[in-house]
Structure 1
Amino acid sequence: MQKYFENCVKEVAACSNQVEARVRVIVGVRLLLQQAVFGLLEWVGNKAPDPSLTPPKQVLDSLWKPADGSLVDALDALLIAAEQTGWSGVSRLLLKSVLDRPAAEL
């Protein structure tokens, strides 16, 4: 997956116009968001948490056909569920590398 995203960055840099670059960036960010959401979903599911700690059913149901907004909602709910299930500091782990870099490099 890391190689895939490294290739995405190279492809964006090689784009001949801004429209193509924007589309490639959006596709890459969306795929990265999906990978984060489904990775967290798998981790939380494997921990077999108390049903009261799982994300709301409508959040999980929205992942059958995710739109960008549902992926963001799911990421938020799954970070909370992961923290409550025992992955202490998971939200800091996911955000740390983004916050430490200047926005121009992203």
Structure 2
Amino acid sequence: MQFSESRFAGLFSVPQRHIGSGATSQLRDEHRMQAYEAERLRPVNEIVAGTRSGGPKRVIDEVEARIADLPGQKFNDLGGILPFEARDAIVNGYSRLAGFSTAQVQ
């Protein structure tokens, strides 16, 4: 009789049952890991999303979007297109989110 991987696939997905003198310790460790994951998952996901939506490249994209209707896409004053506060929020938003802003580090 020949066995295929598919016959044994279910064997590896069975939840582990803790037995013996170390069971309490194992369950406590699992509980701590689950609590840690529940606490950290959302903030970490926000930081990852922040890396994808901020930074200098986003400033360039935002300026390009705002000047798309200008003749020749030319302008003389960047502040008139995208104020400093908006640029600062884009570029430094990730630093603040990750806890690396100057105020947070000091």
Greater share of helix: 1
**RCO (CA 8 Å, sep 6+): is it higher in 1 or 2?**
2
Larger radius of gyration: 2
Regarding TM over 0.5, the answer is no
What is the TM-score of this pair, normalised by structure 2? 0.31
Output the TM-score relative to the length of structure 1. Answer: 0.31
